[in-house]
Amino acid sequence: MIAVNTAKFSLIMIAAGAVVMAFAHWVHVDYLYFASYTILQFIVLATAWNILGGYCGYVNFGSAAFFAMGAYSSVFMHKFFPVPIPVLIVIGALVSGTAGLGMGYLTLRLRGSFFAIATLALAVVLQTLVVNWDFVGGSRGAYIIRPEELEFAGITINYIEYLFFLMLSLAVIALITARTIERSQLGFGFATIRDDELAAEASGVPTLRVKLIATTISGAFMGMAGAPFPYYIGYLQPSSAFGLEYAVNSIAMPMIGGTTSWVGPLVGAILLGSAQQYATVTISSAVNLLIVGLMLVGFVIIAPNGIVGLVQERLRAWRKP
Amino acid sequence: MDISWDLLLNAIAAGLLLGAFYAAVTAGVSISFGMLDIVNIAHPAFVILGSYIAYFFNINFGIDPILVSIVAMPVFFLLGSAVYQVYYLSFEKRGQESLRGLAFFFGLLFVTEVTLILVFGVDYRYVEAAYIGPSIHIGIVDLPLRMLVPCLAALALFSGLQLFVTRTFIGRAIMAVSQDQLALQLMAVDPIRIKRIAFGLSIATAAVAGALLIIIQPIEPSVGREYIGRVFAICVLGGLGSMPGTLVAAMLLGVVESLTSTFYGPSWAPAVSFGFLLLTLAFRPAGLFGR
């Protein structure tokens, strides 16, 4: 592969984002915006999950909880003191990042599996909390009236196009962050923990601190992905914010795509995301979740390194006949 | 606040009954997670599967749900052994249990839940038996048979398991494999075979736990998720793999949950287990009865 440094990579990603944006604007179909918003959201979630799961080797089952925390902090702000969505994204990142840090601090000092179990329980508990909290709508849910258009510096922008643009930017930022981490000292720290935590500790890697950085970044990105969600969906109820599809997809997408590099979650999210958009329309949403589950089980058994791993093997075999 | 005594006593009694049932649900996880170090987060899904099997035979043939579950135990045992075999060959042998093994169980949990939704739908299902409905009264305390029968069955299951792991050869071998796998190998016992049996046993308990669950409350496929936090909280609080510890921890959680739902409202009950889990991990990670 040609060596590309972080600055060049960022430029390439931003350019790619601009091309996608221009293309979407040229086609200009509302459904396309809605469908690709979901896929972009999954790119952010899968990349965020992979920063902790793929790079560090710690499984987070509570993606839905971190996502919902972002979404519900937006609902809270919407009722309490409305601010523009980019500010909400920052707030979502702060809330979910702090939650990630706290969860990590309580559970990561112990066995690795405790973190996974605690995140699994976190979703149930937060849902209980939200159901009982009337200010953010309780079990009835909350309506967020989305304006049709947005006035910005004298130009009117279609609101869904605006949301699409925000999520596209988030996806670009998440991918750049993931790749930068991968090639930084921090990323090597993550990899040592994934490969052998005891050896890492013995070699002087501050494992707890490094793991906490990973949980915080990962949680923060999930919160960012959730923050614009109430505006996208218009009516947020606990069961949609804590939907099982977020937990399962943010694990399945990197696992199926490949967990060792930033490409995996991207490939997984685009493939599974678009397949699900198609399947939800043509079959039913339960069947499409079943397919995701079966694919997850199949891939972890048969192709542990995902699609990226399969392609790399093929390339290696092709180079050395 | 004026606490009403009969309300308090009833809540404690209900909590103890509920706790015994929680112990039955956790028994399997105490074996798989506590002893074998296999993080089987899909255990509650197997419990729900057990509930639906009890439901199916109860509704169509009128058989008692507990009886159905006892007959289903060998089938669940085989299912569990098969799951362990796949887990061992794909993950444990290759040293990948921490990431991919967990994802595998998560996938199983998910696939089971969605399959049950596709087959039975998301409506609440319940079973019919003579002991669902009436209750006995001791003084001011009401003991609904709907809770008492599962409690007794759970205690029977639990004592059986405790006797099995402490008195029989295989049971002791399971305890041994949880302490030192290599030593067992040196004694010419195949640790993988013992683990396969132990895991099969843990899933077999899920059949009974499932039948008890559907006696206690109507269920739908996603009910299992509420139990993930509970079973692991109990297992960790009980000190990973200690059977008496699991029972005490389960009773404790049952009572606290019951008090919470009596005095604060049932919608808060699921949060209790998480608080338990976090407090245990923060202050006493070895659990109450930890070695």
* Subunit contact A293:B285, Cβ cutoff 8 A: no
Q: What is the mean pLDDT of chain A?
A: 86
CB-based contact B172:B15 (threshold 8 Å): no
Residues of chain B neighbouring A55 (CB-CB closer than 8 A): none
Which residues does residue A121 pair with via DSSP β-bridges, in sequence order?
Answer: none
CB-closest option in B108, B114, B277 to A118: B277
Residue B91 distance to chain A (closest CA, Å): 8
* Subunit contact A113:B104, Cβ cutoff 8 A: no
Model confidence over A72-113: pLDDT tens digits? 999 998 888 888 888 999 999 999 999 999 988 888 877 777
Asked if the model's pLDDT at residue A314 lies above 70, the reply is: yes
Residue A228 tokens, joined = 């614009």
Residue A299 tokens, joined = 């891939």
Model confidence over B196-219: pLDDT tens digits? 999 999 999 999 999 999 999 899
- Predicted local distance difference test score (pLDDT) of residue A269: 93
* Subunit contact A61:B106, Cβ cutoff 8 A: yes
ipTM above 0.85, yes or no: no
* Subunit contact A117:B228, Cβ cutoff 8 A: yes
SS3 A67: helix
* Subunit contact A244:B110, Cβ cutoff 8 A: yes
B56 versus B121: which is more confidently predicted?
A: B56
SS3 A101: helix
Residue B274 distance to chain A (closest CA, Å): 6
Rounded average pLDDT over B98-120? 88
Q: B119 — contact with chain A (CB < 8 Å)? A: no
The domain limits of chain B are: 5-283
Asked if the model's pLDDT at residue A1 lies above 50, the reply is: no
Q: State how far the Cα of A138 lies from the Cα of A128, in Å rounded to an integer.
A: 9
SS3 A235: strand
Q: Whole-model pTM?
A: 0.86
Backbone angles phi, psi at A231, to 5 degrees: -70, -30
